[in-house]
Each structure stands twice: as structure tokens, then as C-alpha cells.
Amino acid sequence: MTHFEPVSLYLHIPFCTYRCSYCDFNTYTTLGDVQSEYADALSAEIAFVGQASGAKRPVRTIFFGGGTPSVMSLADLEKIMLSVNTHFDLHPSAEITLEANPETINQAYVNGLKSLEINRISFGAQSALSHDLAVLGREHNFQTVIDGVEMARTSGIHNLSIDLIYGVPGQTVQSIHQTLDAVLALDLPHLSLYCLTVEPGTPLHRDVNNGRIAHPDPDMAADQYDAVTERLAATDLEQYEISNWAKPGLESQHNLAYWYNAEYLGLGAGAHGHAGGVRYHIVRRPRTYIRRLTENGDQPTTYPLTPAVAENHPIDDSEEMADTIMMGLRLLKEGLSAKKFEARFGKSLQTVHGKTIQELIDLELLAWHNRSEENGPSLLLTEKGRFLSNQVFHRFI
């Protein structure tokens, strides 16, 4: 792969106004005073990696993730976008997504996003029900989501997504249907659904351990996932990935880059990246991140590394192949194309993993399908395989 291949940019914004009970992301609620310095550092990091690539590389997708990117001022977002436009070749129809917590935005802000060419908003809604939101420690209600969607549409941003969580203690099949009633009424083109995990060190972990909140019930979670899958199958949203549904043509282009195991530059505190034959991650703490970029301004770097990189390792063929298989199998419509795999690695899937694939087919966890003339036969998870996907993925490591 040359340095002129298109690349995706993940830009991490590690600031939130409060901490949700289940959250173990790299985000901070007390660093509001460094946001502007952080935007300068992120702009500098974009310049570093852009210059190190030796050419203005084409960019097809940008994703502002967090944290809560919508707490960033428009002036700071403008600085960051200016740096992208200066050091990369941003495609005119690039998908540019910003994650937003609905209670942090207003009409003027969303209009400002639109004028910065941000053309997709992903709302962190999680549930329409106040009980679930209270367990999750979220400080908004569903009316703020309804208002946010209307603001986005008024500004001219129509490519909208919503994040939901299932498996919340106290949530039932009936209550997730209530959330779906409210969400489907918004007629959004994209929806993501994630299972709650109780991460060590979070307030939710403490509350579950001391009995204040019930343990999540995995059987109930499985029933809820089934209910959502069945309900959405009767709508115009297609399940194109294990956790994602979209109207045809409105799949997340940025996330597809991950599932194709394509190159992406992760920039910002704690971000992970995969480009130039290297996997790396950036230092986690925002103040350290800012210092690294301001004190090492003239340090030469080798693409895709910058002075803020904490660790990196070269990716060998077997890691790249395993990642490509595991990510590709997440795609439920498209699957993993044998033809594309061979074109990428110069070896057939059969040669590399024929025995494992046959065993998984015999167990009815995988099956071959002809989904497109262009891509030839593709390997897909069966319905049974979707429930056991982690076990399937592990067989390829």
C-alpha cells in the first residue's frame, strides 16, 4: 500500500460534562480549561502526521469521537478542520461525523457544525426510558434527543445516527420495545445497539457489587437483542453489522473502514491507529498529550507516528489476516469476500484457514454465500454464529 491510499481520521475529544456510571472511556470532566490548548495540540498532531506522510493523503471519512465532541467550541472545531484541510486532501463528499450528547447542543451550534462541513451526527441516546437513563447515569431525557434531531434537520444535516444500549439492569423486552417505539418515530437512517458491559472501576461496577443495582442478566440481554433484530427486520433499516442497522446506502462509511481493516489514523489522547503497516496508540492523558506536541514541535517523525505516540508495533501478515477475517465477519450483509482476501494477501482464504473454516461450517456457525458478482463468494456468520461470534473470531487467532 502506498502513502497515497485514502485514509480515515479518528479524532478523539476526551471531555465530558459528567461521567456516566458505566463509562471507562478515556474522558475527563474537569479539564474544560484545557480544551482550547487541546484543539491546538490536535491540530499540531494532524499537521505532524500529514507532513510525515510526504503527500496530502486523500481523506474519505473523519470521525470526532469521545468523550463528548459536542462540548468542543465551534472555534476549536474550526481550528481542527482547518488543519485537516491544510495537511490532507479532504474529499468533497467525505463523511464527517461528530458524536453529540443531545443536551449539549443548540440550534446555533448545530448550524455551526454544518458550516464546518460536518455532515453526520451520531447522538448518544442509549434509551428512551428514564429508568434506564438513571441506571446508566445519563443526565438527559429522550425529549433532548427529539429536539437534537430536529435541530440537525433544520440545519440541513440529515445523515443521523443514534446509539442505544441493551442489557441494562431492570430493562425488559417490553421496555426495549418502548424505546424502539420512540426511536423509530424519528425515522433515522442509522442505529447502533451495544450491550452494556460492567467495567471494573466504574460506579456501575461498584453499585452492582454492593447490590444497589442488580447484575445484568445475559439471558435477558439475548432476548432483548433478538427482539430488536426481529423488530428492525420489519423496517427499512438493514442490519449490516452485528451492532449496526442502516437504510441502504447510509451505512457508516467510517466504521466500514474499520470492518474492512483499512488504514485509519487515530489522533488525540488515547486514540488507536492502524496505518503504514503499524498499529499504535497515543498517550492517554490530555495534559501529557498537549506537552508532547508543544515541546517536540521540531522533532522529525516517521509516518504514521507523532511525538504523542505511546506505543507502536509493526503488523505482520498473520496479524493483518486475522484482523481482516474477524472484522470482515462482523459484516452480516457483505461478509468476508474470498476474492478480496486473496487480492490483498496473495494467498487464498482456503490456503490460510481452510481447515478452521470447514470446521466452523460443519458446526453451522459459518456459511458461504454469493452476495455479489464483483466480490465472488463471501463467508458469513450464520444466525447461530452471530450468537457465538466471539468464539468464531477466536478460532482465527
- The least distance separating ligand SF4 from the CB of residue 15, rounded to whole angstroms, comes to 8
CB 336 within 8 A of CB 328: yes
- As a whole number of angstroms, the distance between CA 239 and CA 190 comes to 10
Nearest residue (CB) to ligand SF4, 68 versus 261: 68
Nearest residue (CB) to ligand SF4, 7 versus 16: 16
Pairing of strands 309-314, 278-282: antiparallel
Question: Residue type at 41?
Answer: A
Which residues of the chain form contacts with ligand SF4 (CB under 6 A)? 16, 19-20, 23, 25, 27, 66-68, 101, 124
- The least distance separating ligand SF4 from the CB of residue 68, rounded to whole angstroms, comes to 5
Q: Write down how long the chain is.
A: 397
Question: Residue type at 13?
Answer: I
Query: CB-based contacts of 12: which residues, under 8 Å, 6+ apart?
Result: 26, 65, 66, 67, 266, 267, 268, 269, 270, 271, 282
- The least distance separating ligand SF4 from the CB of residue 229, rounded to whole angstroms, comes to 24
- The least distance separating ligand SF4 from the CB of residue 103, rounded to whole angstroms, comes to 10
- The least distance separating ligand SF4 from the CB of residue 263, rounded to whole angstroms, comes to 25
Nearest residue (CB) to ligand SF4, 12 versus 57: 12
Q: Name which of 185, 106, 176, 120 is nearest 148 in CA terms.
A: 106
- As a whole number of angstroms, the distance between CA 107 and CA 330 comes to 36
- As a whole number of angstroms, the distance between CA 114 and CA 384 comes to 42
- The least distance separating ligand SF4 from the CB of residue 288, rounded to whole angstroms, comes to 19
